[in-house]
Structures are given as structure tokens and as C-alpha cells.
A and B are shown apart, each in its own frame.
Chain A
Amino acid sequence: MDATTAMYVAQGIHGLAYGMVLFLVASGLTLIFGMMGILNVAHTAFFMLSAYFCYQVVAWTGSFWLALLLAPIATAIVGILVERFLLRRIHAFGLLFELTLTIGVMFVIMEAVKVFWGTENLPLPVPSLLEGLVSIGGMDYPIYRLFIIGLSLVILGFLAFILYKTRMGMVVRAAVSDADMVNALGINVPRLFMFVFGVGTWLAGLAGVAIAPILTVFPGLADQMGMDAFIVVIVGGFGSLGGALMVAIISGLLSSYGVQFVSQLAPVLMFIFMAVVLAIKPTGFFGEREG
């Protein structure tokens, strides 16, 4: 392989890794939206919170693997508490209040993080097992990025299995299309909401831990990821996991190749892409209803 192809492939891997992390964040967002109708503005704040949890666990125990296990669970617990004690109480008032409440939650998390951990960048080393490069077919790939892609694929498979092959997944899918009807059939929908919110924040937390060693941990982490995740959900279609996956990968590749070819325009490419798609089909690629 010559140098140019190698460069393309390397950029592709970068894009893919970013796209997969984006998918992890966006999948939680789209699940929550599809089911509860809430545009969870605080979602990326959870993502960032998990990165901080990860930093803390690594600081205490020195083990990245333990952090990968514990930080997303801790984040999910915070998420469940927010759903149970804040969102559920105002569910009856309608979506506007739930949405603005998540703005408040976002403010609080973003600032609380600064209170506890300060505002500077906290570096997090890549775990020693995943350091360095691996050579496949004469090409060097950074192991950690491949690990991120692999981890996301595992999660994707796991999600797909739960959603399409189990009874619980069936109930979740039914609630996504009509929560009131599912409630009428005798299923405890508020508890289902809580569960889905927990899973959604867990996914965001997982993405936060996965990205932390690459980007380091800092308060701007949420902004960097947040906008892209929102775009992925909107363009893919609210509530559509497949759409989120497709657009997340497109988005990752667009940003990595965009930087290479049209570096001046790269930051706007995604927004233009989104504006064009929404102007033509307001529900996004696979969205069936207007959110």
C-alpha cells in the first residue's frame, strides 16, 4: 500500500472511531426521545460527567477497566435519579417543561463538575494493554481506536439483541411507537421510562469513558460532542437506532475527511448536511413522525 492510501485508511479509522462514539451518545438520546418524547439537552452533560467519574476511579484505583465498568453505572444512577425525582413529577405538564428542566440539569452538572474537579484539562492515560499500534496487512493502526470501534460494535449488537429478540425489547419498541397504549395494556410505563432513561445515560457514560483517554477530561467535552450527537439524532430521525448508526458513521467520516480536504469548511459541513436533510425531510432519514 502506498502512502496516500495509508493516509486515507488512517483517516477512515479515525472517522469510524469518532462515529462509533457518536453513535453511543446518540443511541441513548434517540432511545429517550423516541420513548419519552423528551429532547434530553442534559444528555451530553451526562456524557461529560461519566468522563469525570472515569478520571476519579482511575485516580483512586489506577484501573481503567474498573472505570469502564463503574463510571457508566454511576452516571446511569444519576440519570435515573433525575428521571425519577425531577422529570416524572412534571411529566403531566407537557414536553416544554421537561425539555427546559433538562436545560437546568445540564447547567447544574456542567457547573458542579467545575466545582469538584476544577476547570483545567485532566489527562487520562490510555490503558497499557491498548497502547501503541498494531500492524495489519502492512499498515499500522492505533489499538485504542480499534478498541473503541470494537466496543461500540459489541454494544450495538447487545442493544439490537435486547431490542429485537427479547420480550423487554418488544415492550420498549411498542412504547416508542405508542406509550399510552402500552400503558393501557397494563405495563408499568413510568418504570419503563426510568429504565430507558437509565440505559440511555449508561450509553452516554460508556461513550464518555471511551473518549476520555483521547480527548482528555475537561469541562468543554460536552459542547464538543453535544452538537454532533444532536445532529446525528435529528438527521437520522428521532427514535431510530438504525438512522442514528448510519448518520453517526457518516458524521465521523465527514469530519475526519472534511478536515483533510476542505479544512476551512470542515466545522460547517455537518450543519449544512443537516440543514439540507431537514429542509427536504423534516423527520430526518428514518423518522416516521415529527417529534
Chain B
Amino acid sequence: MTRRVKGIVGGVILVILALYPWLFGIYFTNVIVTCAIFALFAVSYNLLLGYTGLFSFGHAMFFGAGGYATALALTHIEGCPLLVALLFGFLGAVALALLLSPIVARLAHSAFAMLHLAFSMLLYTLALKLRGITGGEDGIGGFPIPPFRIPGVVSVDMTDPLNFYYFAMAVLCGSLWVAWFLTKTPFGQIIVSVRDNDKRVDYMGFKVPQTKAIIYTLSCGFAGIAGSIYAMFQNLISAAALGIAQSFAPIVMTMVGGVISFFGPIWGAVIFAVIEELTTRYTERVQLVEGLILIIVILFFPGGFIHIVAIVKGKLLGFTRGKGAGLIKGKWFGK
């Protein structure tokens, strides 16, 4: 696609998102906010998995850290402004990532994955046990959502779902754009090289553990933003946001959407939102459908939805090399 076509597509998407609440009503507005939250969460995860080749089993702890930081700030700080609360969410996740990075940046593969599992379970258990701070099973809820205020200019009530929709989408799409921009920078190239051949990157004079630590921290920061918006959106954050099921969500979305592309996880989040919307009408066993779809996608289209699109495009337009199968041949993880 040329730059111009891309610009037009982006513009159309923005217009659709802006008109969305009027077109589809408040219920589907909430669906799309949830979907966007998970899209950012999955993209932040893919910065680690797809770009840096780090497989984590505990990304939810940063999501949860962001959520809890925001919730605690809004509960305990009198008159905490909206953006400061969001900043707290971001910094909460970043602080946790900085704390862990000296240990985890030296690791790769299973050890990295499992250490994250251990830490996230540690935080999950702590969130359940430290009732005084986290509210135990009930979590923290009912905190005030402050208005979006620029002193002397504007003050927008955020308890109105419509206003919150615009705020949340602006933050989430903005973060997605920043993450996308990051992958296009020279630094974005280095992290891909770390994934493909970290020894060689080391010989070339780049510092591998430090590079990993930086992308790790940034990725966790994005997850924190997603968690922060999630906490404000639900007006509730509970230990479930830190749990293992929450950690599986971005993995599954990334794999179904496509680990090979920046936009794969976003597609994954959309696909899972649609599946959930459709299947909950017929059955309680949503996970059964999700599991089957995951298995089918991995068996037949390891590159995920992006891979399917590439194949279809290739068939229709006669391209022989799509953005799919070729990339999958490389070993992404492990040996």
C-alpha cells in the first residue's frame, strides 16, 4: 500500500471510531472500549513476543499493576486529576518492570516465561491476601472518576459513557500509535535483531540485556496504560486482572491475530471480541470455542489472521510472496 492509501485508510478508521457511538449505541460502545483495551494489551505483549522473541506467562501482572495503581491513586488522593491517575497506572507498571528487569533481562525462553508465571502468581496471591490495600477478592471499586480538566480551558465529565469513550479511545489509539512508531525506529530494528540473533547483536556492540530491559519496560508501560483505562472503565479492579487467565488472553489473541505483524494482535483482540459477543448468546462455554479456534489457526495458519489475509490477497491479486508463510519458517522461540 502506498503512503496515500494508508493515510486514507487511517482517516476512514478514525471517522468510523468518532461516529461509532451514534451508529451503534451505548452497548456496542462498551464492547469496543473493552476490545481496544485488550488490543493495546495484546500489542504491548507482542512487542515482547513477536518483536523481541521473549515469551512471558505473566504479562497480566503489569496490566493489573496499572489498574491497581490508578485505582489506589483515585481512592486515596483527594481530587486526583484524570491524567495523573493514568500516569500513576503507567508508572506503576513501569516501576514493577524496572524492579524485575535486572533479573529477567538476562533470561530467555522457558526460564523467562516461567519466572513471569511465578512473579505474577506471587502478585496475584498478594492481591488476594493484602486485604487492607487491595480489598482482597472484592478488589477496589467505586472510586470517583474525575473530570478531564485543563484548568481555565475545559472540563469534561468522565462519568458520561460517551465522553469516556472518546477519552479512552484517544488514549488507547494514541498508545497504539506510539508503539507502532517505536517499531519503526532504529531501536525497533535492534529488538528484532535481538530476537533473530542475539549473539550477533552483541558482537556488533549493542548491549543485549539493556536493550531487552528497555523494550520490556516500555511494553509493560503500555500494558499498564491498558490496565489503567480498564480500571477506570469498569470502575473496579480485582485480583482477576492479575490472574493466569488474564495472562493467557494476550498470548491467545496474538497467536490468532498473527505474531508476525504489528497489527496481528489488534485483529486478534477484534476477533475475540466478536467471538465472545456471538458465542455468549448460545453457550456459556466461550473458552471451548476460543480454544478450538486457537488450535485450528495454529495448525493451518501459523501466522494467524494476518497470514490468512496474506494468502487470500495472494490468491486474488496473484502475489506469490505474501507476508506470511516465509516469516514463519524461522524459529521464533527456543532452539
A interface, CB within 8 angstroms of B: 33, 37, 39, 86, 89-90, 93-97, 99-101, 103-108, 110-112, 114-115, 223, 227, 230-231, 234, 238, 264, 267-268, 271-272, 274-275, 278-279, 282-283, 290-291
B119 and A97 form a contact (CB under 8 A): no
Q: 6 nearest interchain CB pairs?
A: A107-B291, A291-B110, A95-B334, A111-B288, A96-B333, A104-B294
A106 and B291 form a contact (CB under 8 A): yes
Residues in A neighbouring B110, C-beta threshold 8 A:
33, 39, 234, 238, 290-291
New A-B contacts (10) at CB < 8 Å, excluding given A103-B291, A107-B291, A108-B295: A90-B302, A95-B331, A96-B332, A101-B298, A103-B294, A108-B288, A264-B129, A278-B103, A282-B106, A282-B111
Residues in B neighbouring A90, C-beta threshold 8 A:
298-299, 302
B288 and A291 form a contact (CB under 8 A): no
| Docked pose: A90 CA to B55 CA in angstroms | 18
Chain A's nearest CB lies how many Å from the CB of B132? 12
| Docked pose: A190 CA to B118 CA in angstroms | 32
| Docked pose: A97 CA to B51 CA in angstroms | 16
Given contacts A105-B295, A268-B126, A290-B110, contact A112 B288 (CB under 8 A): yes
Q: Which of B17-25, B62-70, B248-256 contacts A (4 or more CB under 8 A)?
A: B248-256
Residues in B neighbouring A89, C-beta threshold 8 A:
299
| Docked pose: A114 CA to B284 CA in angstroms | 10
Residues in B neighbouring A103, C-beta threshold 8 A:
248, 251-252, 291, 294
A272 and B299 form a contact (CB under 8 A): no
Q: Which residue of A lies closest to B333 (CB)?
A: A96
Q: Which residue of A lies closest to B328 (CB)?
A: A93
A271 and B122 form a contact (CB under 8 A): yes
Given contacts A39-B110, A278-B111, contact A86 B122 (CB under 8 A): no
B285 and A111 form a contact (CB under 8 A): yes
Chain A contact residues, majority secondary structure: helix
| Docked pose: A216 CA to B294 CA in angstroms | 30
Chain A's nearest CB lies how many Å from the CB of B274? 17
B107 and A290 form a contact (CB under 8 A): yes
| Docked pose: A107 CA to B49 CA in angstroms | 21
A230 and B117 form a contact (CB under 8 A): yes
| Docked pose: A271 CA to B290 CA in angstroms | 29
| Docked pose: A174 CA to B335 CA in angstroms | 17
A100 and B255 form a contact (CB under 8 A): yes
Residues in A neighbouring B335, C-beta threshold 8 A:
37, 94-95
A115 and B288 form a contact (CB under 8 A): yes
Chain B's nearest CB lies how many Å from the CB of A84? 13
Q: Which residue of B lies closest to A282 (CB)?
A: B111
> How many interface residues does chain B have, given as a range?
35 or more
Chain B's nearest CB lies how many Å from the CB of A173? 19
Chain B contact residues, majority secondary structure: helix
| Interface: B86 (CB within 8 A) | no
B interface, CB within 8 angstroms of A: 49, 55, 103, 106-111, 113-115, 117-119, 121-122, 125-126, 128-129, 244, 248, 251-252, 255, 259, 285, 287-288, 290-292, 294-295, 298-299, 302, 328-335
A96 and B288 form a contact (CB under 8 A): no
Chosen A-B contacts, 13 in total, with CB atoms closer than 8 Å, are A90-B299, A94-B332, A95-B332, A99-B333, A107-B290, A108-B288, A111-B291, A227-B117, A234-B111, A267-B129, A271-B119, A271-B121, A291-B109
Chain B's nearest CB lies how many Å from the CB of A123? 23
Residues in B neighbouring A231, C-beta threshold 8 A:
118
| Docked pose: A231 CA to B107 CA in angstroms | 17
A107 and B294 form a contact (CB under 8 A): yes
Chain B's nearest CB lies how many Å from the CB of A255? 13
| Docked pose: A271 CA to B281 CA in angstroms | 39
| Docked pose: A234 CA to B103 CA in angstroms | 16
B290 and A278 form a contact (CB under 8 A): no
Chain A's nearest CB lies how many Å from the CB of B244? 8
Chain A's nearest CB lies how many Å from the CB of B56? 12
Pick from A37, A95, A96, A279 the residue with the most CB of B within 10 Å. A96
Among A97, A275, A282, the residue within 8 A (CB) of B122 is: A275
B107 and A104 form a contact (CB under 8 A): no
A104 and B298 form a contact (CB under 8 A): yes
| Docked pose: A226 CA to B109 CA in angstroms | 20
| Docked pose: A89 CA to B295 CA in angstroms | 12
Chain A's nearest CB lies how many Å from the CB of B124? 9
Chain B's nearest CB lies how many Å from the CB of A183? 14
Among A95, A264, A274, the residue within 8 A (CB) of B333 is: A95
| Docked pose: A86 CA to B227 CA in angstroms | 34
